[in-house]
Amino acid sequence: MLAKKIIPRIDLDHGKCASVISHLNDPSDVVEAASHYMQQGADELYLFDAFPSSASHKLTCEAISRVAENVNLPIMVGGAVLTQEQIADLLDSGADKVVIGSIAVRRPSFISMACRAFSSPRICVRIDTDRTNWGYRVFTGGPTDILAGQDRMVDLDLLDWARRVEELGAGEILLHSRHSVRLGGGYDIYATGLLAQALNIPIIAEGGEGQDLDFSAILAPGVADSAITADALHSKALDIAMIKQQMIAFKLPVRLNTVLTK
Amino acid sequence: MSKSVSIIACGPTNRLAMQGALKRIGCDVHQITGASDILSAKRIILYGNGLFPDAISRLNRDGLSDAIVRAITKGTPILGINLGMQLLFSGSDQGGRHTGLAVFADRLVQISNAPRFPHMGWNTVQNVSNCPLLAGLDMHSFYFMHDYWATDVTAAHNAGITEFGMDFCAVAHRDNVFGVQFCPEKSGEDGLKLLSNFMDIPNAKGE
């Protein structure tokens, strides 16, 4: 049975680890961070270029290569991916999947072009959403948008846009909810469930987690297929092995890590 | 003594993950750049992800397809991984109808009847024909990432079954040729174990 996935997000600043991760010998070393989470039982890794600049793309690629060579887990990469050349570079460097965000909103045909060039399973579209007076709307809010002062609401309904993204060939949707980040009381089960019910492609949820129970809730049948977690994991408030123990108690399909010897 | 393996990447695929995994289990890794490398290889891994038509036309254009078929005939152990496995089938419907290397008699079709697709993530593989590749790994989890699959689970080549809405062929095996739909180089310790099982399969010279 297909297991539900726990995906740690590691933020990068010019190829160095920007997330403050407790108890690493070298807190800036992305390979050490990745190995640490592999040991804990991570099912995939999400490397995110949180500080994009003209120089960061090349350094991100180098960091991915080092992780790909040393850690045998799937790698998803995102942050300021705006061209097909960048996707090709990231895949060549060792990424298994590339996450595109605001470029997809600005130019939806980019999704179908990328899927034709690299195949659907390698293209994940990130949707940034928030609950507004007009229902769930789409936002652009990647690091590049913030730099360009284009961090704003787009005139798109969440469900309409998600359906469009699926039609255009995306292999997966990463749904980031600003609403749940603001509340901090767990993932956005409503918005995620809405997409999961309406679409056929897998959904990854991001934003709002704080305790073990949040994972069992968002990864319940009919909601998300994967959950991304970052700060609470980095500060050791959460631990992947503990999260999975609880998921097992809730009868959710979980991959048991064979190196887990604790 | 480290065992030698030659690798062919198909599609936009990074070599480091595969090289890193093989080096970790103590292999001596060589890159295949032409048909002569295939014929002299002790063991071959054909891997990658991407599109079937692009990959098969590249293999045909570079004369690698013929060399692979000749290597198979002379008994060289070959492991096809993900797209590399798909290339060993009769053909695929991805982007039109395309012909493959035809070691395994089935065609790849787009995933349907599944709860969600593409099939992305960790799923268990049942060893149904005592396949040496899956020795010690029956019902272990591996990482899948594909949108086409081979569904004839009654075929003679079918060695490992995975359930995703319905059963499909996750591991194919015929004589010295093996194919896995998942990515062992991305599948943690179990993936490394599978790769070392492949390295233990004797070639025609008993090496």
Q: What is the ipTM of this complex?
A: 0.90
Does B136 lie at the interface with A, CB-CB under 8 angstroms?
Answer: no
A38 or B206, which is more confident? A38
Report yes or no: A127 and A173 within 8 Å, Cβ to Cβ: yes
* Domain boundaries defined on chain B: 3-199
Active site residue A160: no
CB pairs under 8 A between A and B: 112
Q: Is the Cβ pair A65, B20 closer than 8 Å?
A: no
Does B29 lie at the interface with A, CB-CB under 8 angstroms?
Answer: no
Residue A94: its chain B contacts at CB < 8 A? Answer: 14, 16-17
Q: Tell me which of A49, A128, A145, A188 is the catalytic residue.
A: A128
Residue A174: its chain B contacts at CB < 8 A? Answer: none
Does B97 lie at the interface with A, CB-CB under 8 angstroms?
Answer: no
> What is the topology classification, in CATH, of domain A5-249?
TIM Barrel (3.20.20)
CA atoms of B157 and B180, how far apart (whole Å):
12
Confidence bin at A260 (pLDDT 50/70/90): very low
Confidence bin at A7 (pLDDT 50/70/90): very high
The rounded percent of chain A whose pLDDT value lies above 70 is 94
Q: Is the Cβ pair A226, B121 closer than 8 Å?
A: yes
Q: Which residues of A touch B (CB under 8 A)?
A: 1-3, 5, 38, 43-44, 65, 68-70, 72-74, 88, 91-97, 118-122, 171-172, 200-202, 225-226, 255-259
pLDDT single digits (tens) B105-144: 999 999 988 888 899 999 999 999 999 999 999 999 999 9
State pTM to two decimals: 0.93
Per the DSSP assignment, residues forming a β-bridge with B126 are: B161
Report yes or no: A64 and A75 within 8 Å, Cβ to Cβ: yes
Residue B145: its chain A contacts at CB < 8 A? Answer: 74, 96-97, 121-122
Report yes or no: A7 and A42 within 8 Å, Cβ to Cβ: yes
Cβ contacts of A158 within 8 Å, gap of 6 or more? A127, A129, A135, A136, A137, A138, A191, A194, A195
Active site residue A11: yes
Given 3.50.50.60, 3.60.15.10, 3.40.50.880, 3.40.640.10, which CATH number is that of B3-199?
Answer: 3.40.50.880
B205 or A213, which is more confident? A213
Does B164 lie at the interface with A, CB-CB under 8 angstroms?
Answer: yes
Take residue B126 and report the two structure tokens written for it.
């049942």
pLDDT single digits (tens) B144-168: 999 999 999 999 999 999 999 999 9
Confidence bin at A261 (pLDDT 50/70/90): very low
CA atoms of B58 and A148, how far apart (whole Å):
41
Per the DSSP assignment, residues forming a β-bridge with A132 are: A135
Q: Is the Cβ pair A119, B20 closer than 8 Å?
A: no
